[in-house]
Amino acid sequence: MATSNNAPHTRIERIIVLLDSSRAARVALDAAAELAARRHAQLLGLFIENTDLLHSASLPFGREIGFTSGRIRPLSTADMERRLRQQAEEARRLLAAAGRRRAVQWNLQVCRGQVEAETLAVTKPTDLLVLGRIALARDTGLRFGQLTVRIATTANCSVMVLGETPQPVQRPILVLYEGPETGDRALATAALMARDTNQALTVLLPASADVREEELEQRARSWALRHKATVNFMRLPGADAPILVQALRQTGGRLLILSRASHAVQNPANRSLLDEIALPIVVIP
């Protein structure tokens, strides 16, 4: 991802997508392939054989409930191993098809371990990691926010989280701007994404005890002028989760970009934010 000399570092070399058998993962794969094509980046599919599932299957009382039939069946390690191999092969097929459609180079990496640890071990600072939110919650037994917040706040790369339903293209890209220390790189990434897709860019300006909305707008407007970016502004009374959720519902954005150091991510009281927001989110290191 090329930038000017004065822009924060936003280069992306690989788009990594976490794959499984869910619809959310397929939506994430399609988005990842599109991003890889636009950014001329390599597409890497990551399939993780979850050792927690294998351990559960090895227990003598292990059982599974059919998703459609509701029947309870015995669960064995051999069954789980076979299912994981089938899912990995299906992931390879889908990845190959997405690569052909978008004419991008692709590769599949199969790992065995816990989802969070294996995912973080693969990423590099120049990656963009794409996750499907529904799949993570179901496969790990955790609420979406717990696992995703941990990955988004500890990964050494940008993290995009998608739902099962793609957002309409005509909606604006939104970026939360809390000042140059945390917001300039998020603003640079948002401007590039908006430029790529010819979409409007709206900068959300939350008031805080440290800085007023007027000062935030002046700083963001100066950045936009230097980098020749066309932006709209929306002032918010704060960056707490309820305020952001309400603002996002009002604006109907397609994507929200914010810094990992943002109050909205770092404040423990806001950890419900990722659970409540339906639109895709990109967390920038």
Q: For residue range 109-119, what is the model confidence (pLDDT) as tens digits?
A: 999 998 899 99
For the CA atoms of the chain, what is the radius of gyration? 20
Largest CA distance in the chain: 65
Percent of the chain with pLDDT over 90: 37
What's the whole-model pTM score?
0.83
Query: How are beta strands 255-259 and 173-176 bridged, if at all?
Result: parallel
CA atoms within 13 A on the CB side of 35: 27
Question: In the chain, what percentage of residues exceed pLDDT 70?
Answer: 76
Where does 14-53+86-162 sit in CATH, by number?
3.40.50.620
Upper half-sphere CA count for residue 183 (Cβ side, 13 Å): 23
- How far is the C-alpha of 182 from the C-alpha of 255, rounded, in Å? 18
CATH class of 173-284: alpha beta
Q: What is the overall mean pLDDT for the chain?
A: 81
Stretch(es) of the chain classified as CATH 3.40.50.620: 14-53+86-162, 173-284
Rounded to an integer, what distance in angstroms lies between the CA atom of residue 144 and that of residue 117? Answer: 16
State the Cα angle at 112 between 36 and 138, rounded to 5°: 75
73-125 pLDDT, tens digit each: 556 677 778 888 899 999 999 999 999 999 999 999 999 998 899 999 999 99
> Could you give the angle at the alpha carbon of 226 between the alpha carbons of 221 and 229, nearest 5°?
65
CB-CB contact of 258 with 228 (8 Å) = no
